[in-house]
Structure 1
Amino acid sequence: MIVNENNMKNEDYLEEVEEVYEEKINQKGKVAKVGFWSFVSMIFMTCYGLSNGQQVYYQMGYASITYVIIGVVLFFIPYTFIVSEMSSAFHNEKGGIFSWMKNSVGLRFSTIGAFIWYISGVIWWFSISSICITLSTMIFGKDESETWHIFGLSNTGTTAIIGIIWFLIIVFFCRRGIKSISKLANISMLVTILMHIIILGGGLFVFFMNGAHFQQPFHYTGIQSLFMGPNKAYDNVLAALGFLVFAIFALGGMEASGGLIDKVKNPKKNVPRAMIMSGIIIAILYISIIIISGMAMNWKETFSSSNVNLYNYSIYMVQQQFFEFGKCIGLSNAASVSLGEWVNRITTWITFIAMLNLPLMLYYPIKQMFEGMPKGMLPKFLTKENKYGMTANALYVQAAIIIGAMLLIGFGGNTANTVYNNLTYMVTISTSIPWAFIVFSYIKFKLNDDIKKEYQFFNKKWGVVVGSITFITLVFANGFSIVQPFLQHNYQQGIWIVSGPVIFGFLGWILAEVYLKRKEKNLIK
């Protein structure tokens, strides 16, 4: 016993020495590191969204709980542990998912997977002009952005210019490095908590003021009611399977935070703890949001308007919930409607402040793509760091591409909008296919005894089993998403969806082949 206690004390002492040494290095160096709670905030703001919980309620009502549970069990929980293990094992690597895949499988495999992930993340930013919907709701309590025109420009041109200004503000904060970004994430986390107090607290108030009566009754009359909700768009097996795919995809993104391990203090201990804690909280919150939404609002009354869609559903939910809130406190119908509009303004302002985490979303693709690739694979210009430890040139090139695309979409007329829609289809699957790459890498990672594993939740055998089940789940989800438009005879959409991972993966393969050939000819030192 004495020997074991001494060993434990020695381990604790060495860990403390390591933390002190790391802190001194950080103080002397030019790049600061983030602490445990800041990292939790960054994970949470990347992987979670109140609107995701509201969206699944809009799409499937209470039946969405079934799909969220399936997604959590088959994907979210195991994927969180997978990312925790790999990020802990490669905590000294700078390239995030690229480094994990390269060390576990190989350079070609990692370049293809990382490139697909990176390009899909860049194209996502083309839609940043949607900030105008947020601004309109902040001012008017509803979306009137379609009527906006400045300097005689068209509506699409106007929204593009506003979106570009907003994007440049995000770039400014992103270039200042991880410390600045982590502070913004902390602020974003605080206002997100405030948002939950308003929305979930308001929903519980309505529930109890109405005698603990659910506005949307539970009508579980058989197995079908567990999988089919009130939305007629999801009243068949094919559509329901499509929603399962969405539920799984809505739970992704943990790998982005895992790419920041070299920026976290004491990563061997803090990264797994932060990921597991965040994962548990996120899973509980999504289910709670669905249930509380049904407590406070009736599905048909809330979404009866033909104007409700996947872009503005949350506005109608807030309006209906606080209309019910107004009635509970004795307001007239007109005053209750006005209350809903004002709460919409307030919550949209809060959402706008929560967008302070957007520089983090811009930083992730750069971190994963440019900082981990071998020296010589990319031009030195793109990998050069500024005084904040940020690969600023890569950020500026990426920003130029995004701004150019936004201008083309805003001023290119209907043809440009068609191109944007097709690009959106192209990245639909490209955002999630890299998850399958990561899980496959994890299986190889567990089988490779030469890789030192700092933290293990699963032993070797169970790691392979769990990894295989998660991999099969992702292959099914992605496979169904690819096949679905063809089954519905929407061939153009199906071709664009297939072309995304094929084109992006091929470009990644070319990048790897060029590098390997140059290295073979000793053109890279």
Structure 2
Amino acid sequence: MKDNSLNKGEYAEEIEENIEEKAGKNNKVAKIGFWSFVAMIFMTCYGLGNGQQIYYQMGYAAITYVIIGVVLFFIPYTFMVSEMSSAFHDEKGGIFSWMRNSVGIKFSTVGAFLWYISAVIWWFSTSSICITLSTMIFGKDESETWHLFGLSNTGTTAIIGVIWFIIIVFFCSRGIKSISKLANISMLVTILMHIIVLGGGLLVFFLNGAHFAQPFDYTGIHSLFMGPNKSYDTPIAALAFLVFAIFVLGGMEASGGLIDKVKNPKKNVPKAMILSGIIIAILYVAIVIITGMVINWKTTFSNPNVNLFNYAIYIVQQQFFELGRELGMSIPASIALGQWVNRITTWVTFISMLNLPLMLYYPIKQIFEGVPEGMLPKFLTKKNKRGITANALYVQAAIIIIAMLLIGFGGNVANTVYNNLTFMVTITTSIPWAFIVFAYIKFKLNDNIKKEYQFFNKKWGVIVGSITFVTLVFADVFSIIQPFIEHNYQQAIWILSGPIIFGLIGFILAVNYLRKQKQNLI
């Protein structure tokens, strides 16, 4: 395998290019270079924790579902986004512009608004930063015992989460130059994290005589589709995991909103997206295999305290406990080694969170800078001197902060509402992908749209787009009917209500805009 490390001089030049002023003396706009754009894509579409999580959920069988997701969704979707990004590289609205130019204003507003709302609701969980902080200090999660100034635990975590979120908003308001620098730092720190965790895993594996801690049984039909986790040992549950495997590969479209800020977008955007997509797909499979080399599923995850929020802590703890034992350390010393490495890796993870302002900026860019003038109040679309729609950012931040405080101080009722909102946003997140793929099919069929970069010709673009569209529709429909099958009707209603409510709001916005436009012509 080739050495993917960058020449230091070239990387320094790339960073310098990111902060060059390209738009004249009176209109200073920073441009994003190729490697910085790769970093931005990578940091928003990929996570080491995602690879560890799918191993926790499905063991080696996760490889099957990742391969299916990569073949039927991720690879074709990356090429589709690359083509539309290149064709509309002068547009500022990202996915909104793609869908509007390919299909129409109503379609694009509904799809983009569904995507935006799901991105906003995701931030309601910012209080989970307390788990990170606890691990940084103690080497394990003790955040459930925290009580500041006599507040409840949920109130304490909400306050800490709000403070953290305000810091993110501050850096986001500093403009794309600041965000680009943070993404570069985050990318480098993420590479360091991989060296520690994956490199440490390979070291344990070879010290152990190259024996897999989790036997590598990946031959029969059952081992290909069923893992050791009893929660996924039925066909229905396995299909539910396929949906998750597809979801974890999504997000490439978010980078499309930055096309107008990328240096030489016609060349750099498709190349960056394709390169990032290939690396991400390979890494997820590698993480599953390397984790199984050193982590026995039953030994590590049989602890009832392990869940989808803290699984990574247990993986690191077990991995470096095994390293300590292989190096001849005592059991207490090996446990301490695991806790200290957990502290270190959590600090590294915390630094990698420097990409969060970028994730906050994406939905702002797609909606408030992308929709036609007059669809939203001018107050929300006004930019500050750094080119950021700051008023929209602050209004969005206020909504998120209020929601976080209500959840933190609202008791069980508020927590129930948050859980239901989470169910709602699950399906609302993926439906816009189907919108984008459908728009791509229309995009390929429209010969009036100039296509500067094409991976698929017209015929194959329509065929591949149709297969990906059917895959996404299947995933979305199954997500909706699964709780009905399991007789969890409350969850089913919340999931179904998400796309209906938010889609209706987007439709009303589009209809009102078109009505105003018609009145102006009279």
Superposed pair shares fold, TM > 0.5: yes
State whether structure 2 residue 194 is matched by structure 1 residue 205: no
Residue 208 to residue 447, structure 1, CA distance change in 2 (3 Å): same
Alignment partner, residue 46 of structure 2: 48
Asked whether the 8 Å contact 2:421–2:494 carries over to 1, the reply is yes
State the Cα distance separating 1:212 from its structure 2 match. 1.1
Structure 2: distance between partners of 1:32 and 1:221: 52
1:25 aligns with 2:9: no
User: Aligned residue for 1:4?
Assistant: none
1:156 — aligned with what? 154
2:477 is aligned, of 466, 469, 479, to 479
Alignment of 1:106-505 (within 5 A): 106-220=104-218, 222-505=220-503
Q: Distance in 1 between matches of 2:113 and 2:281?
A: 29
**8 Å CA contact 1:430, 1:500 repeated in 2:** yes
Are 2:57 and 1:59 equivalent residues in the alignment?
yes
Give the AA of the match of 1:344: N
8 Å contact from structure 1 (residues 89, 453) kept in 2: yes
Q: State the one-letter code of the partner of 2:224.
A: L
Superposition deviation, residue 127 in structure 1: 0.6
Contact 2:21–2:28, Cα closer than 8 Å, also in 1: no
Tell me, in whole angstroms, the C-alpha distance in 2 between the residues paired with 1:413 and 1:516: 43
Equivalent residue in structure 2 for 1:514, among 495, 505, 512: 512
TM-score (normalised: structure 2): 0.95
Alpha-carbon deviation of 1:123? Answer: 0.7
Contact 1:26 1:32 in 2 (8 A): no
Q: Distance in 1 between matches of 2:146 and 2:24?
A: 48
Q: Count the aligned residue pairs.
A: 504
Structure 2 distance, partners of 1:508, 1:245, is 25
Q: Percent identity?
A: 82
For residue 23 of structure 2, give the secondary structure of its aligned residue in structure 1.
helix
Cα deviation, residue 414, structure 1: 1.1
3-state SS in 2 of match to 1:431 = helix
- Taking a change above 3 Å as real, the CA distance of residues 242 and 148 of structure 1, as seen in their structure-2 partners, is same
8 Å CA contact 1:26, 1:33 repeated in 2: no
Between the aligned partners of 1:240 and 1:314, the Cα distance in structure 2 is 22
Q: How much does 1:25 deviate?
A: 2.6
SS in 2 for 1:260: helix
State which of 97, 100, 107 in structure 2 corresponds to 1:99: 97
5+ residue gaps, structure 1, are 1-18
Tell me if the contact between 1:111 and 1:508 (Cα under 8 Å) persists in the aligned partners.
yes
Find the aligned partners of 1:222 and 1:275 in 2 and give their Cα distance.
35
SS of 1:74's equivalent? helix
Q: Which amino acid aligns with 1:386?
A: N
Distance (whole Å) between structure 2 residues aligned to residue 189 and residue 500 of structure 1: 33
Relative to 1, partners in 2 of residues 1:221 and 1:440: Cα closer, same or farther, differing over 3 Å? Answer: closer
SS at match of 1:219: coil
TM-score (norm 1): 0.95
Aligned mates of 1:27, 1:325 — CA distance in 2: 57
Q: Aligned in 2, Cα 1:278/1:415: closer, same or farther, shift over 3 Å?
A: same
Q: Is 1:80–1:275's contact at 8 Å kept on the other side of the alignment?
A: yes
Q: CA offsets, 1:462-506, max 9 Å, x none?
A: 000010000000000111111100000101000000000000000
User: Whole-Å Cα distance in 2 between the matches of residues 233 and 165 of structure 1?
Assistant: 36
Tell me the distance in 2 between the aligned counterparts of 1:497 and 1:372.
Answer: 27
Q: CA deviation at 1:219?
A: 2.2
User: What's the CA shift for 1:523?
Assistant: 7.9
1:76/1:251 contact within 8 Å kept: yes
Residue of structure 2 in register with 1:78 after alignment: 76
Distance in 2, matches of 1:440 and 1:393, equals 32
Aligned 8 A contact 1:38 1:182 in 2: yes
Please list the CA deviations of residues 112-144 of structure 1 after superposition, one character each: whole Å capped at 9, or x if unmatched.
Answer: 000000011101101100100100010011111
- For residues 24 and 518 of structure 1, what CA distance do their matches in structure 2 show? 36
Q: State the secondary structure of the residue aligned to 1:213.
A: coil
| Whole-angstrom distance in 2 between the partners of 1:288 and 1:219 | 16
| Over 6 Å off, 4+ runs | none
Query: Displacement of 1:448 after TM fit?
Result: 0.2
Secondary structure of 2:520's match? coil
